[in-house]
Amino acid sequence: MKSEDRILLAHGSGGRLSRELVESVFGKIMSNPILDRMDDAATLKLEGRLAFTIDSHVVSPIFFPGGDIGRLSLTGTVNDLAMMGAIPLYISAGFIIEEGFRLRDLEIIAGSLQAAALEAAVQVVAGDTKVVGRGAADGIFITTCGLGSIPQGIMLSGSGAIPGDQIIVSGTIGDHGAAILSHREGIEFDAELKSDCAPLGALVGAMIEASPNIHVLRDPTRGGVAATLNEIAYASGVDIEINEEKIPYRSEVRGTCELLGLDPLILANEGKLVAFVAGSDSEIVLETMRKHTFGSEATVIGMVQNQASSRPRVYARTLLGSRRIISMPTGEQLPRIC
Amino acid sequence: MKSEDRILLAHGSGGRLSRELVESVFGKIMSNPILDRMDDAATLKLEGRLAFTIDSHVVSPIFFPGGDIGRLSLTGTVNDLAMMGAIPLYISAGFIIEEGFRLRDLEIIAGSLQAAALEAAVQVVAGDTKVVGRGAADGIFITTCGLGSIPQGIMLSGSGAIPGDQIIVSGTIGDHGAAILSHREGIEFDAELKSDCAPLGALVGAMIEASPNIHVLRDPTRGGVAATLNEIAYASGVDIEINEEKIPYRSEVRGTCELLGLDPLILANEGKLVAFVAGSDSEIVLETMRKHTFGSEATVIGMVQNQASSRPRVYARTLLGSRRIISMPTGEQLPRIC
């Protein structure tokens, strides 16, 4: 394959060129015994309770500091499985590609996806490729679907938060959103701002082993921590209070937010989680998280106050000691962040 | 919701409008206890061998005679599961929508997808919605992922064909491809040409019950019967011969092909299957298929001749008695057929 080669409409036709593309790119990069059978569906053997999820990825730009759409597509779906307490196992990926897309870029993206799959210890077992004409899509969109196994006794849900739960974030907030936005806007810092894009299955596995009293896990992607906390408050029927002072940010993220007039709490994260843990177990969970690469900066940012008497609310105790409502973000400013 | 309402970028932001869209469209139309939990992943209980598949759908136009992109997205994935002998059970769906898309059209499409899910006896248990700016996608793309349970003892694969197998098609060939192409080109017939878009799980279930000697099942979608037979010949290492006279077409399909200079064997089908069955069982399988709505015109079109001595080939015995090679289609002419 030559570096100047580009995707043609016929690569999506189901004919000879489709076959060649699948064999020379996906078959070569992602080869494993299940995928290599190239049947209409992958055959798997699994027992017990499963987690099943899907996410389409339309991030722009497709290459960004700290990752690309391939890595993001894998980690985004793996993390959704992990948030259910599941051990991520199998991934399927559907590619929608614009005619004229560079084959070399497709190889790089497939390579990133596969590298992230190895890092997350999952296998890509099924795939599909469609091609649309020039101008009918913007480069490449990737939809990934994930399948994981939920260990016996694990019951996590956004509706599980109860008063007294400590709220932990696994590290600095807003890195992914700020990296994409500053890259798009051409904002530069001394230290490069990178997406946090990472698979969290191993971190979650260690947390679950450390404590049976984790009530909710969520990855604050689109809509950021603000949306995630509002969703959990709403699903669990509780009021939440976080302490602004405790929220960890990188200085570059704070800088980007000041320049663009954004609240870091609404920025997407792609390698962070929010955990609601019974007060008695928050120390042991924190300790466990801090031993892990992707949880080394874990910290408690707030707690569940009470059952909501009317509409569930998320409050922030400000640096000045007053209390403000963190509302569900409206989101107009942040298209195509993941 | 007003009929003139349109999708905004903020509908894909993960914030308030995302939530409203999910609740007012998908939550209302596809409601079931698993989906309604709105967690990061659906939780399922399954045992044994599973089939797992993914398909992106980019068909243009999105509304066509006999179906729309919603129905197609559901049946396409259900049929991939059925071709592995699996009982289709669960579906997840990822929507990529262009800013400005009509909300009313989204409701119609979600309704078609759900109606097809009921017809196929599957549940949509997980979903995702992304919105891209005007011009960054062409209306709507839907990626569906399917999960099915493979009954004990069932082992179907494209590599299972052996000499002596009879090749059965479940009905007329090329309906979907011809319907899309004639609609695009503005070709009209007295009788409307409709897509055959239908879920084949129940048909396959009956076939498998009737005979343990079905070796291969495939749905001849993109690339048509020509691509499917070539793939099976290649995967199984056999030579195949079909009889042109035996291939069932609607006269409108033949007409479309004559007008556009296409071979009906390369047209996509979305509600048909090709079965390779041991000669001894072909009669009982045919009889079973013909009792079923989606198999009433099932017929034998050829057989597996021998192990391939060199490159596996698909031959057609022509009406004149000569033999021509059916090669893997190149596919340039047929973009966005599914």
In 3D space, the residue among A34, A23, A20 whose CA is nearest the CA of residue B157 turns out to be A34
Q: Which of 89-108 (B) contact A at CB < 8 A?
A: 90, 92-96
> What angle do helix axes B201-210 and B69-82 make, rounded to 10 degrees?
20
Please give the average pLDDT of every successive group of 10 residues along chain A, which has 338 residues.
78 87 92 89 91 97 96 98 96 97 97 98 96 97 97 93 98 96 82 92 97 97 95 97 96 92 94 98 98 97 96 94 92 79
Closest residue to B14, CB basis, from A12, A93, A331:
A331
B49–chain A Cβ distance below 8 A for any pair: yes
B273–chain A Cβ distance below 8 A for any pair: no
A206–chain B Cβ distance below 8 A for any pair: no
What's the gap in Å between the CA of B291 and the closest CA on chain A?
25
Query: Which residues, including other chains, have CB under 8 Å from residue B27's CB and lie 6 or more apart?
Result: B35, B36, B38
Dist. CA B80–CA B221, nearest whole Å: 10
Higher per-residue pLDDT: B192 or B142: B142
Q: Give the pLDDT confidence of B283-325 residue by residue, as tens digits.
A: 999 999 999 999 999 999 999 999 999 999 999 999 898 999 9
Cβ contact, residue pair B44, A52, below 8 Å: yes
A159–chain B Cβ distance below 8 A for any pair: yes
CATH classification code of A166-325: 3.90.650.10
Cβ contact, residue pair B53, A38, below 8 Å: no
Dist. CA B239–CA B232, nearest whole Å: 10
Task: Give the start-end residues of each E strand in A172-298.
Answer: 214-218, 238-243, 274-277
Closest residue to B126, CB basis, from A40, A53, A159:
A53
Instruction: Give the architecture-level CATH label for domain B3-150.
Output: 2-Layer Sandwich (3.30)
Dist. CA A223–CA B83, nearest whole Å: 39
A222–chain B Cβ distance below 8 A for any pair: yes
* The predicted structure's pLDDT at residue B168: 98
- What is the mean predicted confidence (pLDDT) over B124-146? 97
Q: Are B314 and B226 in contact (CB under 8 A)?
A: yes
Q: Which of 164-193 (A) contact B at CB < 8 A?
A: none
Dist. CA A132–CA A146, nearest whole Å: 25
Q: Nearest chain B Cα to A138, which residue?
A: B136
Domain ranges of chain B: 3-150, 166-325
* The predicted structure's pLDDT at residue A38: 83
B138–chain A Cβ distance below 8 A for any pair: yes
* The predicted structure's pLDDT at residue A333: 66
Dist. CA A289–CA B278, nearest whole Å: 58
Query: Which residues, including other chains, have CB under 8 Å from residue A235's CB and lie 6 or more apart?
Result: A157, A158, A159, A161, B38
- What is the mean predicted confidence (pLDDT) over B145-150? 97
A295–chain B Cβ distance below 8 A for any pair: no
Helices (H) and strands (E) in chain B — how many of each?
9, 14
Cβ contact, residue pair B14, A222, below 8 Å: yes
pLDDT at B77 over 90: yes
- In chain B, pLDDT over 70 holds for what percent of residues? 98
Q: Are A120 and A37 in contact (CB under 8 A)?
A: no
Q: Are B16 and A226 in contact (CB under 8 A)?
A: no
Q: Are B244 and B319 in contact (CB under 8 A)?
A: yes
A292–chain B Cβ distance below 8 A for any pair: no
* The predicted structure's pLDDT at residue B178: 94
* The predicted structure's pLDDT at residue A8: 93
A146–chain B Cβ distance below 8 A for any pair: yes
Cβ contact, residue pair B41, A83, below 8 Å: yes
What's the gap in Å between the CA of A281 and the closest CA on chain B?
23
Cβ contact, residue pair B40, A331, below 8 Å: no
Cβ contact, residue pair B96, A58, below 8 Å: yes
- In chain B, pLDDT over 90 holds for what percent of residues? 85
Q: Phi/psi at A146 (nearest 5 deg)?
A: -125, 150
Enclosing H/E stretch for A81: helix A69-82
* The predicted structure's pLDDT at residue B319: 87
Q: How many CA atoms lie within 13 A of B321 on its CB side?
A: 0
B266–chain A Cβ distance below 8 A for any pair: yes
Dist. CA A38–CA A93, nearest whole Å: 13
Confidence of residue B332 (pLDDT cuts 50, 70, 90): low
Cβ contact, residue pair B126, A52, below 8 Å: yes
Cβ contact, residue pair A13, B331, below 8 Å: yes
B331–chain A Cβ distance below 8 A for any pair: yes
Which residue type is seen at B97? Answer: I
Higher per-residue pLDDT: A212 or B17: A212
Dist. CA B83–CA B288, nearest whole Å: 17
Contacts of A47 in chain B (CB under 8 A): 47-48
pLDDT at B67 over 70: yes
3-state secondary structure A121-170: CCEEEEEEEEEECCCCECCEEEEEEEEEECCCCCCCCCCCCCCCCEEEEC
Confidence of residue B192 (pLDDT cuts 50, 70, 90): confident
Cβ contact, residue pair A13, B147, below 8 Å: no
Read off the pTM.
0.96
Q: Nearest chain B Cα to A99, which residue?
A: B335
Cβ neighbours, 10 Å, residue A119: 16
Cβ contact, residue pair A14, B128, below 8 Å: no
Q: What's the burial of A201, exposed, middle or buried (CB within 10 Å: 0-12/13-18/19+)? A: buried
Cβ contact, residue pair B335, A9, below 8 Å: yes
Q: Give the pLDDT confidence of B279-290 residue by residue, as tens digits.
A: 999 999 999 999
Q: Are A91 and A74 in contact (CB under 8 A)?
A: yes
Q: Are A43 and B35 in contact (CB under 8 A)?
A: no
Q: Nearest chain A Cα to B141, which residue?
A: A96
* Beta strands A238-243 and A314-317, pairing class: parallel
Cβ contact, residue pair A16, B235, below 8 Å: no
Cβ contact, residue pair B137, A138, below 8 Å: yes
* The predicted structure's pLDDT at residue B185: 83
